[in-house]
């Protein structure tokens, strides 16, 4: 079980790095996605410098990505939808948003 969680963390971190490196190059990375980019950049930089554990950083990243911003980002970046969804799935339990008082997301 613990090995599965470590593998999920590793996959999520790989996706964070990949997504950040791809999004930062895009000319259409306008103000509507700046919050996502800032969050990813912060995570990316902390992890590159080894300042935080992967588990702590994934939790922090999730706290900063409020559901409506995350969903907006998915619609803004259809090509990255799979990566965004994988980060979301790999880094939080299903009850995470309820625990912090965010309304349930609808499709």
Provide the pLDDT confidence category of residue 9 given band limits of 50, 70 and 90: low
Strands of the chain, DSSP E: none
7-11 average pLDDT score: 66
Domains and CATH numbers, the chain: 2-95 (1.20.1440)
Determine contact, residues 90/8, Cβ cutoff 8 Å: yes
Query: Model-level pTM greater than 0.85?
Result: no
pLDDT digits (tens, 9 = 90+) for 31-59: 545 666 677 777 777 777 877 776 676 66
The percent helix, strand, coil of the chain (3-state, each to 5) is 75, 0, 25
């Amino acid at each position: 079980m613990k090995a599965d969680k470590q593998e999920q963390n590793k996959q999520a971190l790989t996706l964070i790095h990949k997504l950040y490196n791809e999004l930062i190059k895009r000319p259409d990375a306008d103000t509507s996605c700046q919050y996502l980019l800032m969050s990813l950049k912060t995570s990316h930089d902390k992890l590159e410098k080894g300042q935080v554990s992967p588990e702590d950083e994934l939790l922090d990243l999730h706290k900063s990505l409020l559901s409506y911003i995350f969903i907006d980002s998915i619609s803004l970046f259809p090509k990255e939808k799979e990566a965004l969804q994988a980060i979301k799935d790999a880094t939080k339990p299903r009850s995470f948003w309820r625990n912090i008082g965010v309304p349930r997301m609808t499709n």
